[in-house]
Copies of this chain bind each other. A is one copy, B any other.
Amino acid sequence: MKKVEAIIRPEKLEEVKHALEEAGFIGMTVTEVKGRGRQKGIEQQWRGRKYRVDLLPKVKIEMVVKDEDVDRVIDIIIEKARTGSIGDGKIFVSTVEEVIRVRTGEKGEKAI
């Protein structure tokens, strides 16, 4: 099983979530994060003094999925989260060795 971790624009969450749902991927965990990549950050001011907020609000979606679903999930996320400008985000894929459903104690792919 793989964990797909996608860091996307907060305003895209709703769309991505919806598209994943349509495709049958319901389970996910979402976290508010702040991130920095190539995007430069916004300049703000306080009493006329400038300061750069170089960590911008992003949303992290974590989904654990079966190995064979990874590509579809990635495609969906890219399709919906892309705007084409800097700051669209990143997706990381890694291996998860075990998944357990707390309610039932089931393990492995059926627990996803």
Q: How far is the CA of A41 from the CA of B70 in the complex (A)?
A: 25
Known: A64-B90, A92-B64. A26 touches B36 (CB 8 A): yes
Encode contact with B along A76-108: 1 for CB under 8 Å, 0 otherwise: 011001111111111111111111111101000
**Once the chains bind, are A99 and B92 in contact (CB under 8 Å)?**
yes
Contact partner, A99, options B31, B36, B91, Cβ 8 Å: B91
| Interface assignment of A34: CB less than 8 Å from any CB of chain B | yes
Cβ B97 vs Cβ A91 within 8 A:
no
A38: interface (CB < 8 Å): yes
Q: What are 5 A-B contacts with C-beta separation under 8 Å?
A: A29-B60, A85-B103, A89-B103, A90-B111, A91-B100
